[in-house]
Amino acid sequence: MDDDGLKYVQYDSSKESTYLAAIRQLISNDLSEPYSIYVYRYFLYQWGDLCFLALDEHGSLVGVVISKLEPHRGGPMRGYIAMLAVKKEYRGRGIATRLVRMAMDIMIDRDADEIALETEVTNTAAMKLYERLGFLRSKRLHRYYLNGNSAFRFVLFIKESAFTSRLGYDEDEDDENPPELPPSA
């Protein structure tokens, strides 16, 4: 147990029968997107080691982050935070920050170039959390969720090459002629 009385653990597929129903329940209570069992299994079977749980003193789930890491469109190695949820009565205690940091740290250790995620434009608490962790808003996605709400995509650039590739800059090009940046507004 940590100082906050919680135990933070990496998802263990051998305990799927213990955790999966609780993960689904927690996420369905907190997130507007109705995910099927197949979505959870897609992430947990392939990237279970990038998913972390916060458990109370009785072993009950109070928080979860579900993530993945893979090459993005043949380019940078992109980490992705797919789902994050913390029980209402446990919010404001740094649990979400701790879970996201755990996922980020392992993705960085595995050579992620960047980490991305989406969150509803109305979820100010989540946006503040990700901005505190260094994520930048990269675009607004109109009517992104099934409920009709829009989202912001956030990206954390881990390596400079991931950021400069977004600008169309090739590191092997002559530094004497960098690309022109658009004028600031």
pLDDT above 70 covers a percentage of the chain that reads 85
Q: What is the pLDDT of residues 65-96, one digit of tens each?
A: 999 999 888 778 999 999 999 999 999 999 99
Q: C-alpha distances in angstroms, 77 versus 110, 155, 156?
A: 9, 13, 12
pLDDT above 90 covers a percentage of the chain that reads 69
**pTM confidence score:** 0.83
First to last CA, the chain: 50
Confidence of residue 165 (pLDDT cuts 50, 70, 90): low
Q: Are 115 and 155 in contact (CB under 8 A)?
A: yes
- Helical (H) or strand (E) element with 9: strand 7-10
Confidence of residue 30 (pLDDT cuts 50, 70, 90): confident
Q: What is the pLDDT of residues 115-155, one digit of tens each?
A: 999 999 999 999 999 999 999 999 999 999 888 899 999 99
